[in-house]
Chain A
């Protein structure tokens, strides 16, 4: 095509009418205008159709108890509009405000609501062709990418085109307030959740059939098939009755291998779980290392190595089933070491009221306090070792049943060792659905040693040393 074009040029200096129009299409047709502005010296833009006007003003009325990036409200010719500082929103440093200084502000229209957006400087209006907008590169990371509509080059400037509707709508639905704004976007968020939950539901179907599944899996065994199958079914049933341990996709590979071992161990005395002690014996190798205890240095180091790089400013961890909080504290120390610059928040939950109530008051025995925990330990007046305020502030202990709805923010890490296996089948699926819903795109899930999300689902898995984590694919 281009060759033809140049040939045509060579053949005939006079451009034909047709070619002229083609030329114009490529260069001069402007079907998208955007207002450009700068944040921390970088150029950004938003669609002009969403900008009502620009204004220079200051001294906004402070509103208490709002999110930090909300500067306050402003009276725009009788209409009270909220003012958001985009620099704070994107964690960019803000120059110290002088008392009477005026701010550069874009008044944007999202849904039916006006917002004031404070930026460093407003540049100009630039007309471009919509087709030149390039999608944001995946390298920008999952968290920020959703706020970026695309990247566009114009007059040797590279502009980052922000998706202002996304920025505000996600905040609105997250805040769960100012209802009635931008219903369309709230709906899409809900829809997203539903569609994302769907694969989890699909995965749930095989889960409910697991009780039959082992039968097929065991079929080629040399032993008399029927009795082994029978035994296995009994064990599955007894684990449920005695220990509330539910065999599903999450743990059935462990249960199967343990069953073979169990048969070998118990040749003489029969393979049935007669009482709670038998069930405890059966499950004894199930528990993850250091479960319900302070962590050894070895295990702490393994967890440390397992954690992937994460440059987020804030790292949120969901730790259901934290019991007495030993693992929450241990995790807090490791995260502090692994991500020293991030603000870490652990939501530790349990249904045992006594355990969880005592968790904030924990003391740690000297043998552990002088081990790898040492940098995070302080002494009470009584001489007992406890964690520093910095570590304690990281963890929020909650009396909460993880099968009930929660109000957690999006999380980076789900840390649920030996929890899922003790939930009934439907609850397991629901909680895994919640994990999916609450986990950030680059987030990870750490389960117990005998548990796995890998089977027949859309989870990826990665093993480091003896530990494995699961992530979104």
Chain B
């Protein structure tokens, strides 16, 4: 992945998360690369990218984390993962990705976003196959908050 892509995602996901969670503490874990099929913790919001580059950004968290964050963002304690909670998490994904893409636009990379899609369930796995059945390489940005851990999983590449 081009080094220019990394910072916008790391910075915006940190900043946006800090902003929406109010005074809560947000810590960034060490970045790393991963290329295997990944188990999803419980709730995953996915935003696709298309244009000069193609790929996707996946926000992965546990069910509890998602519920906590949705509660905090709505200013009320949500009891279960209902439509409002789902919409909130999708919006969070949209916020972060859109701001990262805006930053990349300023650097001269042009691409568009798809509307976020939300997946929730037990024992899910995300496999992104590239070309000859090999998994596409993804950058993982772990963000540790008082409400639980969110993993931002960025897989983008130049259009061949």
Contacts and interface: CB of A to CB of B under 8 A. Distances in A.
A359 B6 CA distance: 13
Interface stretch (A104-112, A378-386, A396-404): A396-404
Interface stretch (A156-164, A244-252, A350-358): A350-358
A175 B43 CA distance: 33
A356 B158 contact: no
A65 B51 contact: yes
Interface in A277-335: none
A399 B132 contact: no
A89 B122 CA distance: 50
A399 B131 contact: no
B52 A357 contact: no
Contacts of B160: 174-176, 407, 409
A398 B52 contact: no
A405 interface: yes
Interface in A394-452: 396-401, 403-407, 409
The CB with the most chain A CB atoms within 10 A, among B2, B135, B139, is that of: B2
A190 interface: yes
Contacts of A39: none
B3 A404 contact: no
Contacts of B127: none
Interface residues of B, number: 23
Given A190-B132, A193-B132, A404 B2 contact: no
A399 B136 contact: no
Contacts of B6: 353, 357, 399
B124 interface: no
Contact of B3 (A190, A360, A401, A406): A360
A359 B3 contact: yes
Contacts of A405: 35, 130-132, 134-137
Mostly, the A contact residues are mixed
Given A353-B6, A357-B6, A399 B1 contact: yes
Given A401-B35, A405-B130, A356 B3 contact: yes
Mostly, the B contact residues are mixed
A64 B33 CA distance: 32
A190 B132 CA distance: 8
Interface residues of A, number: 24
Contact of A399 (B33, B130, B135): B33
Contacts, number: 58
Given A174-B160, A407-B158, A407-B160, A398 B130 contact: no
B3 A357 contact: yes
B31 interface: yes
A398 B132 contact: no
Interface in A188-241: 190, 193
Nearest to A351: B33
Contacts of A360: 3-4
A356 B4 CA distance: 10
B1 A353 contact: no
Contacts of B158: 407
A401 B36 CA distance: 13
B157 interface: yes
A450 B142 CA distance: 38
B7 interface: yes
Interface string A348-391: 00010100110110000000000000000000000000000000
A398 B33 contact: no
B130 A407 contact: yes
Contact of A176 (B1, B4, B131, B137): B131
A401 B33 CA distance: 7
Contacts of B2: 396-399
Interface in A147-178: 174-176
Contacts of B136: 405
Given A65-B51, A176-B160, A193-B132, A399 B139 contact: yes
Contacts of A399: 1-3, 6, 33, 139
The CB with the most chain B CB atoms within 10 A, among A174, A190, A357, is that of: A357
A353 B131 CA distance: 25
B129 to A, nearest CB: 9
B154 to A, nearest CB: 10
Contacts of A396: 2
The CB with the most chain A CB atoms within 10 A, among B132, B134, B136, B137, is that of: B137
Given A176-B160, A193-B132, A401-B33, 8 more contacts: A65-B51, A65-B52, A176-B131, A357-B6, A397-B3, A398-B3, A405-B131, A405-B135
Leading 8 A-B pairs by shortest Cβ distance: A405-B134, A404-B35, A404-B137, A397-B3, A407-B157, A401-B33, A399-B1, A357-B3
Interface of A: 65, 174-176, 190, 193, 351, 353, 356-357, 359-360, 396-401, 403-407, 409
21 contacts: A175-B160, A351-B33, A356-B3, A357-B7, A359-B3, A360-B4, A396-B2, A397-B2, A398-B1, A398-B3, A399-B2, A399-B3, A400-B1, A401-B137, A403-B35, A404-B33, A404-B134, A404-B137, A405-B135, A405-B136, A409-B160
Interface of B: 1-4, 6-7, 31, 33, 35, 51-52, 130-132, 134-137, 139, 157-160
